[in-house]
Amino acid sequence: MQVVYLLVELRKLIELEKASKRFPALNFFCRWALHSKGKGVGADRILVRFDGLLEKIKANPGVSTWDELQEIRNTINFSRFQSDLAKFMDKQEIISSLWTDPFLWSDFLTLYIQVIENCPLVLSPTSKTILKSYSHLNVELINHPVRPTELYVMWTMLDSDGKRVEALKSQISPAS
Protein backbone atom coordinates (compact mmCIF):
# COMPACT_ATOMS: atom_id res chain seq x y z
CA MET A 1 0.00 0.00 0.00
CA GLN A 2 2.97 2.34 0.41
CA VAL A 3 3.36 2.27 -3.38
CA VAL A 4 -0.18 3.57 -3.79
CA TYR A 5 0.39 6.24 -1.14
CA LEU A 6 3.55 7.41 -2.92
CA LEU A 7 1.69 7.57 -6.24
CA VAL A 8 -1.22 9.50 -4.68
CA GLU A 9 1.16 12.09 -3.27
CA LEU A 10 3.10 12.29 -6.54
CA ARG A 11 -0.14 12.79 -8.44
CA LYS A 12 -1.13 15.63 -6.11
CA LEU A 13 2.24 17.33 -6.64
CA ILE A 14 2.02 16.89 -10.40
CA GLU A 15 -1.42 18.48 -10.36
CA LEU A 16 -0.41 21.33 -8.04
CA GLU A 17 2.63 22.13 -10.17
CA LYS A 18 0.74 21.69 -13.44
CA ALA A 19 3.54 19.32 -14.46
CA SER A 20 1.61 16.57 -16.28
CA LYS A 21 2.93 17.64 -19.70
CA ARG A 22 6.53 17.80 -18.45
CA PHE A 23 6.31 14.33 -16.85
CA PRO A 24 3.82 12.44 -19.05
CA ALA A 25 4.95 8.91 -18.19
CA LEU A 26 4.93 9.59 -14.45
CA ASN A 27 1.51 11.22 -14.73
CA PHE A 28 0.14 8.30 -16.76
CA PHE A 29 1.44 5.58 -14.43
CA CYS A 30 0.26 7.44 -11.32
CA ARG A 31 -3.22 7.89 -12.80
CA TRP A 32 -3.41 4.25 -13.84
CA ALA A 33 -2.69 3.06 -10.30
CA LEU A 34 -5.37 5.30 -8.83
CA HIS A 35 -8.30 4.15 -10.96
CA SER A 36 -10.08 0.87 -11.62
CA LYS A 37 -9.40 1.32 -15.33
CA GLY A 38 -6.59 3.12 -17.10
CA LYS A 39 -8.03 5.60 -19.55
CA GLY A 40 -7.28 8.94 -21.11
CA VAL A 41 -5.05 10.15 -23.92
CA GLY A 42 -2.04 8.06 -22.85
CA ALA A 43 -4.10 4.89 -22.53
CA ASP A 44 -5.82 5.56 -25.87
CA ARG A 45 -2.44 5.92 -27.58
CA ILE A 46 -1.17 2.62 -26.15
CA LEU A 47 -4.40 0.82 -27.05
CA VAL A 48 -4.25 2.06 -30.65
CA ARG A 49 -0.67 0.81 -31.00
CA PHE A 50 -1.54 -2.63 -29.64
CA ASP A 51 -4.64 -2.77 -31.83
CA GLY A 52 -2.58 -1.94 -34.92
CA LEU A 53 -0.07 -4.64 -34.06
CA LEU A 54 -2.77 -7.27 -33.62
CA GLU A 55 -4.34 -6.29 -36.95
CA LYS A 56 -0.96 -6.70 -38.67
CA ILE A 57 -0.39 -10.08 -37.02
CA LYS A 58 -3.85 -11.27 -38.11
CA ALA A 59 -3.34 -10.02 -41.69
CA ASN A 60 0.18 -11.45 -42.05
CA PRO A 61 0.70 -14.44 -39.73
CA GLY A 62 4.35 -15.33 -39.38
CA VAL A 63 5.60 -12.03 -40.79
CA SER A 64 8.01 -10.19 -38.52
CA THR A 65 6.49 -7.31 -36.60
CA TRP A 66 9.73 -6.31 -34.87
CA ASP A 67 9.36 -2.59 -35.67
CA GLU A 68 5.84 -2.50 -34.28
CA LEU A 69 6.90 -4.43 -31.18
CA GLN A 70 9.73 -1.99 -30.59
CA GLU A 71 7.35 0.94 -30.91
CA ILE A 72 5.01 -0.61 -28.36
CA ARG A 73 7.90 -1.52 -26.06
CA ASN A 74 9.07 2.08 -26.21
CA THR A 75 5.55 3.30 -25.50
CA ILE A 76 4.95 1.18 -22.41
CA ASN A 77 8.50 0.81 -21.21
CA PHE A 78 8.68 1.23 -17.47
CA SER A 79 12.02 2.97 -17.94
CA ARG A 80 10.11 6.11 -18.97
CA PHE A 81 8.19 5.86 -15.71
CA GLN A 82 11.53 5.48 -13.90
CA SER A 83 13.11 8.37 -15.78
CA ASP A 84 10.20 10.76 -15.17
CA LEU A 85 10.09 9.75 -11.51
CA ALA A 86 13.82 10.43 -11.10
CA LYS A 87 13.55 13.83 -12.82
CA PHE A 88 10.46 14.83 -10.85
CA MET A 89 11.97 13.80 -7.52
CA ASP A 90 15.21 15.61 -8.39
CA LYS A 91 13.14 18.73 -9.05
CA GLN A 92 11.58 18.25 -5.59
CA GLU A 93 15.11 17.80 -4.14
CA ILE A 94 14.23 14.31 -2.91
CA ILE A 95 17.12 11.88 -3.10
CA SER A 96 16.52 8.15 -3.06
CA SER A 97 18.10 5.04 -4.53
CA LEU A 98 14.63 3.73 -5.41
CA TRP A 99 14.93 4.89 -9.01
CA THR A 100 18.69 4.36 -9.35
CA ASP A 101 19.21 0.93 -7.76
CA PRO A 102 17.99 -1.78 -10.18
CA PHE A 103 17.00 -4.15 -7.35
CA LEU A 104 14.98 -1.52 -5.49
CA TRP A 105 13.38 -0.40 -8.75
CA SER A 106 12.48 -4.02 -9.54
CA ASP A 107 10.89 -4.40 -6.10
CA PHE A 108 8.95 -1.17 -6.61
CA LEU A 109 7.75 -2.27 -10.07
CA THR A 110 6.66 -5.61 -8.67
CA LEU A 111 4.49 -3.84 -6.10
CA TYR A 112 3.26 -1.35 -8.69
CA ILE A 113 2.23 -4.08 -11.12
CA GLN A 114 0.35 -5.84 -8.34
CA VAL A 115 -1.67 -2.63 -7.98
CA ILE A 116 -2.51 -2.30 -11.71
CA GLU A 117 -2.93 -6.01 -12.52
CA ASN A 118 -6.72 -5.86 -12.41
CA CYS A 119 -7.01 -2.38 -13.86
CA PRO A 120 -7.21 -2.78 -17.63
CA LEU A 121 -6.42 -0.03 -20.08
CA VAL A 122 -9.62 0.91 -21.87
CA LEU A 123 -10.65 3.68 -24.24
CA SER A 124 -11.91 6.77 -22.51
CA PRO A 125 -15.68 7.30 -22.89
CA THR A 126 -15.10 10.44 -24.96
CA SER A 127 -12.59 8.80 -27.30
CA LYS A 128 -13.45 8.80 -30.98
CA THR A 129 -11.08 5.86 -31.53
CA ILE A 130 -12.51 2.48 -32.47
CA LEU A 131 -10.48 -0.61 -31.67
CA LYS A 132 -10.74 -3.28 -34.35
CA SER A 133 -9.14 -6.23 -32.61
CA TYR A 134 -9.76 -6.21 -28.87
CA SER A 135 -11.62 -4.57 -26.03
CA HIS A 136 -8.94 -3.92 -23.41
CA LEU A 137 -5.31 -4.38 -22.42
CA ASN A 138 -4.17 -5.79 -19.11
CA VAL A 139 -0.92 -6.52 -17.32
CA GLU A 140 0.00 -9.34 -15.03
CA LEU A 141 3.06 -10.27 -13.07
CA ILE A 142 4.47 -13.71 -13.89
CA ASN A 143 7.42 -15.75 -12.70
CA HIS A 144 9.84 -17.41 -15.05
CA PRO A 145 8.90 -21.12 -15.18
CA VAL A 146 12.46 -22.31 -14.49
CA ARG A 147 14.01 -19.39 -12.58
CA PRO A 148 11.30 -18.23 -10.12
CA THR A 149 13.33 -15.22 -8.97
CA GLU A 150 13.01 -13.72 -12.45
CA LEU A 151 9.86 -11.64 -12.75
CA TYR A 152 8.14 -10.63 -15.95
CA VAL A 153 5.23 -8.45 -16.85
CA MET A 154 2.85 -9.93 -19.41
CA TRP A 155 0.68 -7.54 -21.43
CA THR A 156 -2.47 -9.33 -22.59
CA MET A 157 -5.43 -8.34 -24.74
CA LEU A 158 -8.94 -9.67 -24.91
CA ASP A 159 -9.74 -9.87 -28.61
CA SER A 160 -13.14 -9.27 -30.20
CA ASP A 161 -13.89 -13.02 -30.00
CA GLY A 162 -13.31 -13.02 -26.22
CA LYS A 163 -9.99 -14.81 -26.59
CA ARG A 164 -7.05 -13.80 -24.39
CA VAL A 165 -4.03 -12.86 -26.52
CA GLU A 166 -0.59 -12.57 -24.94
CA ALA A 167 0.90 -9.51 -26.59
CA LEU A 168 4.20 -8.70 -24.96
CA LYS A 169 6.35 -10.05 -22.16
CA SER A 170 9.30 -8.23 -20.65
CA GLN A 171 11.57 -8.90 -17.71
CA ILE A 172 11.40 -6.53 -14.78
CA SER A 173 13.74 -8.21 -12.32
CA PRO A 174 17.38 -7.22 -12.72
CA ALA A 175 19.87 -9.78 -13.96
CA SER A 176 21.48 -11.54 -11.02
- Sketch the domain layout of the chain as residue ranges: 2-171
Average pLDDT rounded to a whole number, residues 3-12? 94
Q: What is the pLDDT of residues 28-71, one digit of tens each?
A: 999 999 887 877 888 888 888 888 877 777 777 766 566 667 76
How far is residue 44's CA from residue 82's CA, in Å, rounded to a whole number? 21
Per-residue confidence at 8, pLDDT binned at 50, 70, 90? very high
Q: Band of the pLDDT at 176, cuts 50, 70, 90? A: very low
**pTM above threshold 0.75:** yes
Quote the crossing angle between the two packed helices 102-116 and 24-33, to the nearest 10°. Answer: 50
pLDDT digits (tens, 9 = 90+) for 85-141: 999 999 999 988 888 888 899 889 989 999 999 888 888 888 888 888 777 888 888
Alpha-carbon span 120 to 128, nearest angstrom:
19
Beta bridge partners of 170: 153
Amino acid making up residue 36: S
